[in-house]
Structure 1
């Protein structure tokens, strides 16, 4: 394995935050495995921008709600120096109205499949001189939210997982951290009315939502050599909304 060549595996690369993360890492010299599920059009638009940075890009299509996809992904990954879990789905509803299928999907996408992948990739990460694991969690993983009880639960589980795993992998020099954004200006916000968005902005000291690039820049830093002594942390990117 060439220690000078870095490969990052980014899940959820077709989402707005995932795309921004891929671009930021490519500009920092990371070669990429980019995972997506259905939004191939977004990947086809992203790919030329990544290749323009003179990095290798390997596409991996998989449904994280299909556990058999883990085996297929394992066979496509050789060297890996960073694992960034940006894949996710939300579900806005009363907890009592949620189905088992909806709850299971949240668990599979946010926790079960990334845990399985990290378990598989850990021996490869141990061979790296810059091993990094990063989860894009959420402010709701720390404080919880009504109407998003199951989502808050899996996001909180991500934080607990990162803190525990950071202790276990510390002796191997692998850092494990979570990033907890507040409200990010993505298409996910389209489900909120303009009036609701105004109310949210007023609650945030910066009076605006985060940009996907601001989350991506934090990922780029935490995966860099400059962050080699930061592990087990939750980096809050929320404009002062939660202190």
Structure 2
């Protein structure tokens, strides 16, 4: 089944690289106009836009830090002003810090919480103004398998992603009567720059824990985003969908 998102407008936060870039490309490939958000990696955002254009799609670049409410509002307003509306919001921007909890300092966990959960709250709050006007919309939050199981050496990241899952379920119940769907995707180990620090031995050990015997790809996540954003998923809301090759 080929999904057609022609005429839709999507905003993808943190779309300058990795999963966010692939999500933007998949949405564009389905026909949606795409706003590519970045905070620091402008060159990466331009590369994402170039890839979209090479494939015949249309997009714009919107700079801003989702962890700051006023900047999140500007990101949303700029997208709506330039593209006319917002049908799809993909809250993908996120950061991770690996290390023992006891060795962390306050500014590190504040940064994680500000980006990984407050960023989603900020962008969702601002985008809903536009979705409520047209009585429809789809918000897709990128969570993690660690949000439900927890991960040693990623304690605050796991806590933030657990909050994303609860936020998703609660907001879906609140907005169901307004025909606005809220879902989350919980990826497992995805082969992106975020996991580039793993040694070959560590990668092989991780693969042995995955029944499908491979890391996931950005496309594995991006294609699910396209489905959840489409009318093919019009009765799906409040769900945390795991994409992990059977790892948990």
- Tell me how far 1:199 sits from its aligned partner: 0.8
Select which of 41, 44, 47 maps to 2:46. Answer: 44
**Cα deviation code 1:91-147 (max 9, x no counterpart):** 011112211111111111111122122112212112346510101100100100010
1:65–1:127 distance in 2 versus 1, CA, 3 Å:
closer
C-alpha distance in 2 between matches for 1:70 and 1:205: 39
SS, match of residue 78 in structure 2: coil
Residue in structure 1 matched with residue 77 of structure 2 by the alignment:
75
Give me the TM-score of the superposition, normalised by structure 1.
0.93
Select which of 165, 168, 176 maps to 1:162. Answer: 168
Q: What RMSD over aligned residues (CA atoms) do the two structures have, in Å? A: 1.7
Query: Where does structure 1 differ by over 6 angstroms across 4 or more consecutive aligned residues?
Result: none
Residue in structure 2 matched with residue 95 of structure 1 by the alignment:
101
**Cα deviation code 1:68-92 (max 9, x no counterpart):** 4234324313210111011111001
C-alpha distance in 2 between matches for 1:206 and 1:74: 38
Select between 115-124 and 165-174 the one with higher mean Cα deviation.
115-124
C-alpha distance in 2 between matches for 1:208 and 1:101: 35
Q: Please state if 1:198 is matched with 2:187.
A: no
Q: Please state if 1:214 is matched with 2:216.
A: no
SS, match of residue 135 in structure 1: strand
Q: Please state if 1:237 is matched with 2:237.
A: no
C-alpha distance in 2 between matches for 1:140 and 1:115: 19
Q: Residue 130 of structure 1 contacts residue 225 of structure 1 at CA under 8 Å; is this kept in 2?
A: no
C-alpha distance in 2 between matches for 1:162 and 1:213: 22
Residue in structure 1 matched with residue 143 of structure 2 by the alignment:
137
C-alpha distance in 2 between matches for 1:85 and 1:66: 14
Select which of 226, 234, 237 maps to 1:228. Answer: 234
Residue in structure 1 matched with residue 110 of structure 2 by the alignment:
104
**Cα deviation code 1:201-220 (max 9, x no counterpart):** 00110010001111101101
Gaps of 5+ in 2: none
C-alpha distance in 1 between matches for 2:20 and 2:140: 12
C-alpha distance in 1 between matches for 2:200 and 2:37: 32
Residue in structure 1 matched with residue 60 of structure 2 by the alignment:
58
Select between 228-237 and 94-103 the one with higher mean Cα deviation.
94-103
SS, match of residue 35 in structure 1: strand
Give me the TM-score of the superposition, normalised by structure 2.
0.91
Select between 162-171 and 93-102 the one with higher mean Cα deviation.
93-102
**Cα deviation code 1:151-198 (max 9, x no counterpart):** 000011100000000000000111110100110011222211111111
Residue in structure 2 matched with residue 32 of structure 1 by the alignment:
34
